Chain A
Amino acid sequence: MAEAVALLDITKTFPGVVANKDVSLSVQEGEIMAIVGENGAGKTTLMRILYGLEKPDTGTIQVKGKEVKLPSARAAIAEGIGMVHQHFKLVPSYTLAQNVVLGVEPRRGLFVDQKRELEIVNDLSKRYGLAVDGERLTCDASVGEQQRAEILKALYRGADILILDEPTAVLTDGETEELFGMLRRLAADGKSILFISHKLREVLAISDSTTVMRRGEVVGTVQTAATDRRELAEMMIGRETVGGRIREDSVQLGEPVLEIIDLNVQDARCITSVLDANLVLRQGQVLGIAGVDGNGQVELVEAITGLRPVSSGRILLDGKEIQNGKPRQIRQAGVAHIPSDRNATGVALEAHVWENLIAVDYFASPYSGKMALALSRIFADAKDVILRFGVQTPSLKSSTNNLSGGNIQRLIVARELGLERAQVVVAAQPTRGVDIAGTEEIREMLLDYTREGAGVLLISADLDEILVLSDLVMVMYEGHLSDAGKVDDTIRQRVGQLMTGGSIDDQT
C-alpha cells in the first residue's frame, strides 16, 4: 500500500492554547483511520488544517509522497482531499443532485445541464453504493441521505482522501451501520478515510488503525485489530495517577442536600437527553460529573436550575421538590449556578460590571426598595465583592466586554458565591479559559463553600478538574448517569470505560 497523506510535525497555536503540538500521522491508500480523543484534544483543528481551513504554524503536509501547501479548501480539493462536516453544508431548497454538483456544474452553453447533472449523481451513487435520490429536495431528505450526498459531493470533486468529522453523531444506529458499509466499499476502492469520533464502539467496528489524541498531541497510533476498548480509553484519558489533588480525602459528609430521582429531561429538539438519572449530593460534598460534552450535561444542569422543564422524575433540595420551579424560586431556595457558556448565559457583555454583579440579587432588599435600585448599597457591596474575588476591572461602571475571559469568569463566580449563601452550587466548567492562578483560586472558593456545609455539583468535560476536586465521580454518557466511585488510583480507567460507552464490569 502506498501512503496517501502524511502530516509531519504539525503545530498550531491559538491565542492562549496549543491546539496541535508536533502532530504526525500518515494514512495509506485504502485505509480507514479513526482519530479519537476527548473534546478539545485537537482532532478537529488537525482535520481543518488538512482541509486547508487553518494554516499550521509549523510542519508539513504530504499528499502521495509530495509536499503540498494547502492555503484554502480549494487547494485541498485540488489535491484530492474532501471533508464531510459534522453540520452539513447543503442548500436546503436545492435538490440533492444540485447540491452535489454545486459550483462545478456540468454546463450546456450558459445553462446548467440538468439532465447530465442527474446522470452524474446517479452514476456516482451506483458506483459507490451510496443511495441518493438526486431529484429529492434536500430539506425533504433524511439526515442519512443528506450525509451520503455530502460524501458524493466530495467524491464528485475527485476526493481520494475523505475526512469525516463525527459522522455518526447525527445518525441512528441503522444509518450508522449503512454508513460503515459504504465506508468499507470506498476503502476497498482505494480511498483513504479519516474518521473523527469519540465513540470507541464505532471506532473498533470500522477502522483499520486508530490514532489517539490528547491535549493536542498524538498519544499513539495502534492497529485496531490489536487493541480493545480498554486500551483506547486509557490512551484517551491518560493513565497517570491523579496529580495536583487539592481535595482532602477525609471529608465529613452531612445530610443529602440535593437528590435527583429518576429524572428525564428533553432537549430543544424534544429528544430525551437525560435518561432516568439518579444522584445524591450531600452537605460538604463535591460531586463531579465527567463525560464528553453533549451527553446530556447541559440539560441536566438546566433542569436543576429551572431553565428547562423536567418531563418526569423529581429533584429535591433539602427534601423539598423543586423540579419545574422558576429559576428565581430555585435560586432563592438555595441553588447557585455557574453556567458553562459564560458569554451567552453568564453575563450581558454590553452591561456594566455592577449590572452583571447584582443580576441575581437586585430585586429585593437591601439592593432595591419598592421601585428604585439602592445604588449606593449596590456599589458598596459590589466594590467589596470584586476585591474579595479579585475581579480586575477599571471600575464598576466599565463595560463588561472590556474584561478578559478569566475576569468575566471571576465576576460570575463572585456573583454566584459572593452575595448570598447557597446550599448547592451547580458549577459547570467553572474554570474554562481561566489562567492557572485564577483556576486555583476559583477551585479554592468552591472548596471553601463545601466547608460551610454546601454541596457542589461540578460538571466538567475536563477530567483533571473533576479528579482534582471531587469526593465522588459520576459519568454522563448518552443521557445516563453512572457512578464511577471515589477518586483512587484506578479512577481514570473506570471513568474512561464509562465515558466511552462501556461499563465498569467490562474490565475483568
Chain B
Amino acid sequence: MTKREEPKPSSNESSTITTRASRSRLKSILIEVAIQAANYALILLVSLLAGGLVILFAGKNPIEAYGALFDGALGGTLKIADTLDRASVLILAGLAAAVAFRTSVWNLGLEGQLYMGAFAAAWVGFSFHGLPLAIHITLVLLAGIVAGALWALPAIFLKIRWNVNEVVSTLMLNYIAILFTAYLVAFPFKDPAALFPGTPVLDASARLPRLIPGSVLNIGFILALVLAFVVNWFMFRSKQGYELRMVGLNARFAGYAGMPVKQSAFLAMMLSGALVGLGGAVVIAGFFGRFITSFSVGYGWDGMLISLLAQNHPLGVIPAALFYAGLSNGGMAMQSATGVDQAVVTVVKGTLLAFVTVKVFIDFLNRRLRKWAPSTS
C-alpha cells in the first residue's frame, strides 16, 4: 500500500468527472487521511509510552516530565515561536532528504552540506558591508544554496562517472565539511573577540528580519513553509519532478522510457544539497548571527529522520519537522524543570521512527478500515 497522498485533482480535471465519481473519490481520500491520522496517533501513543517507561525507570514521574516537555514546546506565544524557529531549518533539511530519497539518491551528506551552506552564508554576511537589506539577505541565502549544492557535487559526479556508491562518499564528505569549517573558524576567520571559535558577527543587513518581538522567529520560517509547497508542486506537478520520481521508483524503467536517468539523479542531488545548504544559511542568519563550530545539533541527520517520518512527502515534512522541533525544545525545558535527561526525547523519536518505517499499524489499519468501509472504485 503506498502511503503517498494524492495531489489534489485540478479543477479542470474534476469537471470531466461526474459528481458521483468525485464524491466517491472524496470518500476514498477521507478514508486515506483517516487511516494515516489513526496510524500516526497510534505510533505517537506507543512512542510516548516507551519514553514514559524510561522516565519511570529513572525514578521520575512521567506525567510531570511530559507536562514540562509540553510546556517547554508550546507553553505560550514565545515558546511556540521558538519552536517554529527551530522547525525552519528542520523543514529545509527534511525537504532536502525527501527530494533525494524520492529519487533513490541516497544523500547522507546533509550535515556536511548544511555546514558548508552555513559557513558560506556567514562569510557573505560578515565580509560585505553597506549593502541594502534585501540584497544582502538574498546574497547570504544564495551563498548557502550554492555552497550546499557544490558540496553535494563530488558525490554525484563520482556516482555518475564511476558508479561510486553515494552513501559512502556523501557520508565521508560530512567529516571533511565539519572539520574544514572548524579549521576556518579556528584560524583564518576567527573572530578574536569571540570566546569560542566562530566567525565575526554578520552585518545587521544580513540578518533575517524577526517576526515577533522577543522571539528569534524570523522570515526563514516563512521561507521554509513556502519552499515545502514549491517542492511539493515540483515533485508532483512538474515534468522534472515526474522524471525524478520515476527514476527513483525504477531506474531501468525510466531509462527504457527514454528519461534522462543520470541527469535526474544529478538534479536531485543538487536540489537536495541546495535545500539543506539554505537551511544552514537560515539558521546562521536567523538565529546565531555568526558561524560557530558545531552549531548544528544534527539538523542534517534529523532532516533524514523527518523525511522518513513524513514518508518522504514534502508537505508531510512540515508537521514532522514541527513535531521534532517541539520535542527538542520541550526536551530541554523538561530537563531543566524536572531533571529528566532529554535523552528520553531520543527514545521517543527512535520508537516513533521505528514504527513508521516498519509500518506495523498501517497494514493493520488498512485491513480493518478497508473492510469496514470498502473503498469505492
Interface residues of A in 356-374 (CB under 8 A from B): 359-360, 362-363, 368, 371-373
A348-B249 in contact (CB<8A):
yes
A434 at the interface (CB under 8 A from B): no
A348-B12 in contact (CB<8A):
no
A368-B239 in contact (CB<8A):
yes
Please tell me which one of the listed residues B238, B242, B255, B256 contacts residue A355 in the complex, with CB atoms under 8 A apart: B242
Docked CA distance A331–B259 (Å)? 11
Contact partners of A344 in chain B: CB under 8 A: 250, 252-253
A351-B10 in contact (CB<8A):
no
Of A90-98, A180-188, A230-238, A393-401, which binds chain B?
Answer: A393-401
Docked CA distance A336–B4 (Å)? 31
B242-A371 in contact (CB<8A):
no
A347 at the interface (CB under 8 A from B): yes
Query: Within the complex, what minimum Cβ distance (angstroms) separates B27 from chain A?
Result: 12
B377-A395 in contact (CB<8A):
yes
Most chain-A CB neighbours within 10 Å: which of B25, B237, B253, B259? B253
Query: Within the complex, what minimum Cβ distance (angstroms) separates A340 from chain B?
Result: 11
B77 at the interface (CB under 8 A from A): no
B136 at the interface (CB under 8 A from A): no
Please tell me which one of the listed residues B1, B13, B239, B254 contacts residue A379 in the complex, with CB atoms under 8 A apart: B13
B258-A373 in contact (CB<8A):
no
B16 at the interface (CB under 8 A from A): yes
Whether A359 touches B246, Cβ cut-off 8 Å, given contacts A372-B238, A373-B239, is: yes
Contact partners of B253 in chain A: CB under 8 A: 344-348, 359
B16-A346 in contact (CB<8A):
no
Whether A349 touches B255, Cβ cut-off 8 Å, given contacts A373-B242, A375-B13, is: no
A328-B258 in contact (CB<8A):
yes
Docked CA distance A474–B2 (Å)? 44
B86 at the interface (CB under 8 A from A): no
Query: Within the complex, what minimum Cβ distance (angstroms) separates B173 from chain A?
Result: 30
- Beta-carbon nearest neighbor of B236 in chain A: A373
Report the interface size for chain A: residues with CB under 8 A from the other chain: 35
Please tell me which one of the listed residues B6, B7, B249, B258 contacts residue A327 in the complex, with CB atoms under 8 A apart: B258
B245 at the interface (CB under 8 A from A): yes
B237-A380 in contact (CB<8A):
no
A69 at the interface (CB under 8 A from B): no
B257 at the interface (CB under 8 A from A): yes
B237-A372 in contact (CB<8A):
yes
Query: Within the complex, what minimum Cβ distance (angstroms) separates A396 from chain B?
Result: 10
Q: Mark B253-282, 1 if CB is under 8 A from A, else 0.
A: 111111100000000000000000000000
B245-A351 in contact (CB<8A):
yes
Q: Mark B21-60, 1 if CB is under 8 A from A, else 0.
A: 0000100000000000000000000000000000000000
Q: Please count the residue pairs between chain A and chain B whose beta carbons lie under 8 angstroms apart in the complex.
A: 84
Docked CA distance A305–B258 (Å)? 10
Docked CA distance A391–B245 (Å)? 23
A307 at the interface (CB under 8 A from B): yes
B10-A375 in contact (CB<8A):
yes
A346-B256 in contact (CB<8A):
yes
- Beta-carbon nearest neighbor of A337 in chain B: B256
Query: Within the complex, what minimum Cβ distance (angstroms) separates A370 from chain B?
Result: 8
B242-A339 in contact (CB<8A):
no
A507 at the interface (CB under 8 A from B): no
Docked CA distance A347–B1 (Å)? 17
A397-B242 in contact (CB<8A):
no
Query: Within the complex, what minimum Cβ distance (angstroms) separates B147 from chain A?
Result: 26
B250-A349 in contact (CB<8A):
yes
Please tell me which one of the listed residues B16, B25, B246, B252 contacts residue A351 in the complex, with CB atoms under 8 A apart: B246
Docked CA distance A375–B242 (Å)? 12
Interface residues of A in 134-193 (CB under 8 A from B): none
Query: Within the complex, what minimum Cβ distance (angstroms) separates B223 from chain A?
Result: 21
Please tell me which one of the listed residues B6, B16, B257 contacts residue A376 in the complex, with CB atoms under 8 A apart: B16
A348-B254 in contact (CB<8A):
yes
Contact partners of B250 in chain A: CB under 8 A: 344-345, 347-351
B239-A362 in contact (CB<8A):
yes
- Smallest CB-CB A-B distances: 3 pairs: A328-B258, A376-B12, A394-B377
Please report A residues at the B interface, Cβ cutoff 8 Å: 305-307, 326-328, 331, 337, 339, 344-351, 355, 359-360, 362-363, 368, 371-373, 375-376, 379-380, 383, 394-395, 397, 399
| 8 additional contacts (CB under 8 A) given A327-B255, A348-B250, A375-B7 | A328-B258, A348-B253, A348-B254, A350-B249, A363-B239, A372-B238, A375-B10, A376-B16
- Can you report 23 residue pairs joining A to B where beta carbons are below 8 Å apart? A327-B257, A327-B258, A344-B253, A346-B253, A348-B250, A349-B249, A349-B250, A350-B249, A355-B245, A359-B246, A359-B253, A360-B257, A360-B258, A371-B240, A372-B238, A373-B242, A375-B13, A376-B10, A376-B16, A379-B13, A383-B16, A395-B25, A399-B2
